Chain A
Amino acid sequence: MRIDLNEIQHWIQQGSRILDLGCGDGTLLKFLIDTKQVQGYGLEIDPAQINICIDKGLNVIEQNLDRGLGNFADKSFDTVLMTQALQTLHFPHLVLDEMLRVGKECIVTFPNFGHWKARFYLATRGRMPVSDLLPYEWYNTPNIHFCTFKDFEVLCRERNIKVIHRQVVNEQSGQTLKDFMPNLFGETAIYHLRK
């Protein structure tokens, strides 16, 4: 399982009601149901991923996040999750607002575009970074709104969003350095948010 998913469980209450935005193949949802007995729904738009969720017996609902969460009532979920999908949205800031309206708390994870490798790639080659973490060419990528940890925290401040916890996780190198200079050495951030 992806390292960010494994960390998320610590912030999820036993038996809580969760909504997973862009739930993918349902790995996290299934994991939280099995370990935390949560009552959960996942939203997804990719038919192939939806099929896998169905195979797992998950409550998966086909819904495009860019159309908002207007169909969910205020504070109707304990936690609204979104892992590695923020950067794929047309209006990440609006979806974030919606997440905090629908959920009492939110957990968001995203890749750090301020990671030194991305910075180095851009600085030395003068081209948009392509790596094993970010494997897409700029013109054909689902990731249309990259940000750095700093960018995200500025957005949170502007919108009065409270960061309850932040954890930086690295799949690869820089395990010590990431704690020292997260925005330079952290690969993925997990934010636990409240309004």
Chain B
Amino acid sequence: MPNQIPADSVGLVTPQTHRFTAPLLLACGRTLDEYELVYETYGQLNAAKSNAVLICHALSGHHHAAGYHSMDDKRPGWWDAYIGPGKPIDTNKFFVVSLNNLGGCHGSTGPRSINPLTGKAWGADFPMIRVRDWVASQAHLADVLGIDVWAAIIGGSLGGMQVMRWALDFPQRIRHAVVIASALKLSAQNIAFNEAARKAIVSDPNFFDGDYIEHNTLPKNGLAVARMIGHITYLSDYAMGEKFGRDLRSGSFELGNDEPVEFQIESYLRYQGDSFANTFDANSYIRITKALDYFDLAREFNDDPVSAFKQTNAKFLVISFSTDWRFAPERSHEIVNALVGANRPVTYAEIESKHGHDAFLLPDERYEQVFGRYLAGVKI
């Protein structure tokens, strides 16, 4: 944290928690009798309650999207570049709600929470969650906050899938849908990467079939490998080359030198993996990647996304990034084409970026322009 809060920051924020006591029937058929959602808000809800914006987070995201929790924080929330006064999601205009999804591990009910029936951590017994369950629970949170209709719901990657699910399941409750670097469904390659990551986790001897908490341990190595695999897919070949190249962190290739060589990229990936493994829950990771795999917007519409989008009322903004190979621009084209086929309003921009899938989180002049100008046109 800098000594002073930047002028375009939402400043110090405090998460809030709401306990829901009405049972939530999940897509898997099981029911959560009660659950908690942790969330943050930025900006002020207007009297007409017409300026509310919901942020849906991606795989490793959480409720802390903007601002700082304390003056000691090293970094602001994960989407601080885009949320704040005068930023694309302008908190002078909008009341922004950002939550941690159900099944996560940053404060909302998830595998590390206590199962009231057993008095122990849920662990492996926590239900499988789907995108529609997140959206249903987000709708209950909207009820609690008194928000009938969101001015906009915004999400990147897996967050974009939640936005599309919102538009389908609650067409009267969302006016603008902003879907960034996302897809109608995962490709086989996407699922393959997710499965490799899950396999790394369950192969860790400390995983104990998901009941590692009971065994007072954590499958940190497996989770770190899972994160390393994921992280590779978030970066472009170019970005990785530019940032790390073949630079060495230690050792040398000199003949007669037996010292092991470590590339910068190895050290970077290990650091990313280890720090993730210290803050994320393995069971959450498995559930969230499964939710990604299962998501298929058009499945219930004979695999026809046009029929699916005919259910929607929202105006869409779709954004993709040129070097994103995890959710390539072609995936966004599929969304846009289906919306056009369904005669739904849509704006689409393909941002030239070197940063691969990660680009949706990073500052970029054109991205900011498209995003900001679109949201400036949202009536409140």
Contacts and interface: CB of A to CB of B under 8 A. Distances in A.
B377 A55 contact: yes
Interface in A45-64: 47, 50-51, 53-55, 57-63
Interface residues of B, number: 19
B345 to A, nearest CB: 5
Nearest to B352: A47
B333 interface: yes
Contacts of A61: 336, 340, 346-348
Interface string B330-349: 00010011001101011111
- A interface, how many residues as a size bin? 20 to 34
A54 B347 contact: yes
Nearest to B373: A54
Contact of A62 (B337, B345, B348): B348
Contact of A60 (B343, B347, B366): B347
Nearest to A61: B348
A59 B350 contact: no
A54 B340 contact: no
Contacts of B349: 47, 50, 62
A110 interface: no
Contacts of A50: 349, 370
A71 B369 contact: no
B212 interface: no
Contacts of B346: 41, 59, 61
Contact of B337 (A47, A58, A71): A71
Contact of B341 (A47, A62, A73): A73
Contacts of A17: 343
B374 interface: yes
A145 B314 CA distance: 40
A60 B345 CA distance: 9
Most chain B Cβ neighbours within 10 Å, of A50, A55, A72, A73: A50
Interface of B: 333, 336-337, 340-341, 343, 345-350, 366, 369-370, 373-374, 376-377
7 contacts: A53-B347, A59-B345, A61-B340, A61-B346, A61-B347, A72-B340, A76-B340
Interface of A: 17, 39, 41, 47, 50-51, 53-55, 57-63, 71-73, 76
